[in-house]
Structure formats: structure tokens, C-alpha cells
């Protein structure tokens, strides 16, 4: 079986029972979020839909069953890296060959109200990587059975001008070791490049990077509060049409940010333990 193509489908920020707070915060940042969604497996979410990928704020209703939290075992913050696939069954077979398979493909859905008022079900089939291979979060391949119930043009317009997730950043004391699981997943057909402090894999519009704390400091990426030297999903960078649009939204939303010559950033303490960066990007 040939290698799967590395293309990031979406990134997941775990917000636990703080969906209301997360929704309000990201709207203040200038993101347009979809309405509160409720998965058939029990979790709830809001999405920010971009061009090729999207951001998911994942949690559970505070008055729901406490067992809902057991759907994922990860700290608050950036916790999920999701890959695209057109065939979840084939992806599962591939993961089995690479000794990376978790549970068999799982189908689920969530009701959706489209921008024109129509009611639909967004349906998915996912297959996870073995949890033991990713102690810092979770990763799976997602087959969208109804992509038009997610990628609606009206949902892809954001006041802050975000176009796509351009970087997904993992911090680790030893980046080469942390990259090994992704090397097993995608090499040798797809190139992983880098040095001792910075490894990367281009995955569609998104670059997966694994960097050292030293590299993170050089790039003004703060460590999550719970960082202990082990690999930790830590930061997202967004490509934007205009940094001025981002700045205006952050100022209007009373969001504390920092700036360099070509980037605006939000510290993890202000964004659910996740560093957020915005950069004008030319594809």
C-alpha cells in the first residue's frame, strides 16, 4: 500500500467545559465560529472554517455527563492533529501496517444548520493513531462524508482575515525523537527536513513543525504552563490577508497581543494554553 498523503484537515483545542468562554474569546479575536455542534458520541464544539483546513474548539457542556470528558485524555490546550483521508478504512489498514493503528474506523455525526437555514447532518468516519504513540495529545485521519456541511463559503469569511492554518507547532526537548512517529507515518515518500532544533513536514497548506524550547524562545513562542520537556502540541500559526485586520480585531476585542516586524501573537495564558500567531502569507 502506498503512503498516505500528509494534509492537515484540522487542529483541535481542548477547552473542556469552557465552551462558552472559548466561543466568546475567539469571536473577540475576529474568528467567525459555527454554532454550537453536538456530536453523536457526546462531545460538543465550535469550528472556525478556513480554506483547506479549520480550527475546532472541542469540549463538553458543563451540565452534561461527567463521562463525556473521558472521550479524550488530554490537557486544556492544543491537543489534536487531524489528517485528511478519502478512505478511513484504507487509512486504518495502512496504520496497521505501520504498527500505529488505534481503534478501527468509527462513524459519527452532528446536526448542522447551514447558513441558508437548512438542517443537515455532518457525517464523518475517523481512524485514530495508537494513543501510546502520541502522549501529548491525539491524532487521527478524518474522512468527511458530507464535506459541504463543513466547508460553506459563508463560514470561511473572518473579520481578522484568516485564510488557513499555516503552522502546527509541537515543542519538545529532543525534536528528532518527537518527529519519529510522523516519519513512520509518512516517510520515505514525503520529506521531513530540519536540524536539531527544528524539524518540519509540509502537509498541504500547513507545516507541521517540532521545535526545541530554545527555538521556541527565539520565535517568541511561549511554553505551555504544563510543559515538562516531553513533546507538547503548543502553537498554531494562521496565514492572514492583512495584519492590520488582525490588529484591529484584537484591539477591538480587548485581546492582549505582542508584535514583531511581520507577525502578531497571543500568549498561551490568554488563549487556552495555546500560542496563537498571525502572519501575512503568500502561497
pLDDT at 73: 64
- Distance, in Å, from the CA atom of 161 to the CA atom of 48, rounded to the nearest integer, reads 12
8-156 belongs to which homologous superfamily?
2,3-Dihydroxybiphenyl 1,2-Dioxygenase, domain 1 (3.10.180.10)
| pTM (2 d.p.) | 0.95
pLDDT at 72 over 60: no
Rounded mean pLDDT, 232-249: 97
Asked if the model's pLDDT at residue 70 lies above 50, the reply is no
The pLDDT > 90 percentage for the chain reads 82
Question: pLDDT (tens digit, 9 = 90+) per residue, 56-68?
Answer: 999 988 775 545 5
Burial of 159 (0-12, 13-18, 19+ CB in 10 A): middle
pLDDT at residue 240 above 70?
Answer: yes
Tens digit of pLDDT for each residue in 7-37? 999 999 999 999 999 999 999 999 999 999 7
Reduced to 3 states, what is the DSSP secondary structure of residue 184?
A: helix
Domain boundary assignment for the chain: 8-156, 162-280
What residues contact residue 274 under an 8 Å CB cut-off, 6+ apart?
Answer: 13, 77, 78, 224, 234, 235, 236, 268
User: Cell for 47?
Assistant: 469550528
Alpha-carbon distance of 7 to 141, in angstroms, equals: 10
Check residues 188 and 94 and name the one with the higher pLDDT: 94
Residue indicated by cell numbers 507515518: 185
| Nearest 10 degrees: Cα torsion 94, 97, 102, 104 | 60
What SS3 class is residue 121? strand
Whole-number average pLDDT of the chain: 92
User: What pLDDT shows up at residue 66?
Assistant: 44
- Number of H helices and E strands in the chain, helices first, is 6, 16
C-alpha cell of residue 25: 474569546
Topology alike, domains 8-156 and 162-280: yes
Q: Are strands 162-171 and 232-240 parallel, antiparallel or unpaired?
A: antiparallel
Which three three-digit cell numbers place residue 84?
485528511
Q: Can you give the pLDDT at residue 136? A: 80
Measured distance CA(209)–CA(215) in Å, rounded: 11
pLDDT of residue 191: 85
Identify the pLDDT of residue 63. Answer: 72
User: What pLDDT score was predicted for residue 282?
Assistant: 61
Kind and range of the H or E run holding 125: strand 119-128
Q: Grid coordinates representing 216? A: 521556541
| Residue 225 confidence (pLDDT) | 87
Query: How do residues 96-125 score in pLDDT, each as one tens digit?
Result: 999 999 989 999 999 999 999 999 999 999
Q: Provide the pLDDT for residue 135.
A: 76
Find out if CATH 3.10.180.10 is the number for domain 162-280: yes
Tens-place pLDDT, residues 128-166: 999 888 878 999 999 999 999 999 999 999 999 999 999
Three-state SS at 37:
strand
pLDDT for the residue numbered 165: 98
Amino acid at each position: 500500500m502506498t503512503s498516505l498523503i500528509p494534509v492537515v484537515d484540522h487542529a483541535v483545542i481542548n477547552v473542556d467545559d469552557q465552551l462558552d468562554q472559548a466561543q466568546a474569546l475567539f469571536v473577540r479575536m475576529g474568528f467567525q465560529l459555527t454554532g454550537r455542534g453536538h456530536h453523536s458520541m457526546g462531545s460538543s464544539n465550535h469550528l472556525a472554517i478556513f480554506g483547506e483546513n479549520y480550527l475546532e474548539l472541542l469540549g463538553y457542556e458543563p451540565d452534561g455527563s461527567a463521562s463525556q470528558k473521558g472521550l479524550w485524555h488530554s490537557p486544556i490546550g492544543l491537543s489534536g492533529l487531524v489528517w485528511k483521508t478519502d478512505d478511513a478504512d484504507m487509512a486504518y489498514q495502512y496504520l496497521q501496517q505501520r504498527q500505529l493503528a488505534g481503534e478501527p474506523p468509527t462513524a459519527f455525526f452532528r446536526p448542522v444548520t447551514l447558513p441558508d437555514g437548512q438542517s443537515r447532518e455532518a457525517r464523518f468516519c475517523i481512524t485514530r493513531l495508537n494513543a501510546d504513540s502520541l502522549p501529548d495529545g491525539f491524532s487521527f485521519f478524518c474522512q468527511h462524508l458530507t464535506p459541504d456541511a463543513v466547508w460553506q463559503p459563508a463560514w470561511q469569511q473572518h473579520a481578522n482575515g484568516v485564510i488557513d492554518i499555516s503552522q502546527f507547532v509541537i515543542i519538545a526537548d529532543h525534536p528528532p525523537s518527537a518527529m519519529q512517529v510522523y516519519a513512520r507515518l509518512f516517510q520515505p515518500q514525503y520529506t521531513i527536513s530540519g536540524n536539531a532544533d527544528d524539524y518540519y513536514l509540509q502537509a498541504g497548506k500547513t507545516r507541521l513543525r517540532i521545535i526545541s524550547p530554545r527555538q521556541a524562545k527565539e520565535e517568541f513562542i511561549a511554553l505551555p504552563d504544563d510543559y515538562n520537556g516531553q513533546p507538547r502540541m503548543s502553537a498554531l500559526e494562521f496565514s492572514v490577508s492583512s495584519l492590520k485586520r488582525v490588529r484591529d480585531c484584537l484591539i477591538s476585542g480587548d485581546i492582549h497581543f505582542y508584535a514583531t516586524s511581520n507577525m502578531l501573537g497571543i500568549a498561551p495564558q490568554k488563549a487556552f494554553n495555546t500560542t496563537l500567531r498571525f502572519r501575512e502569507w503568500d502561497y
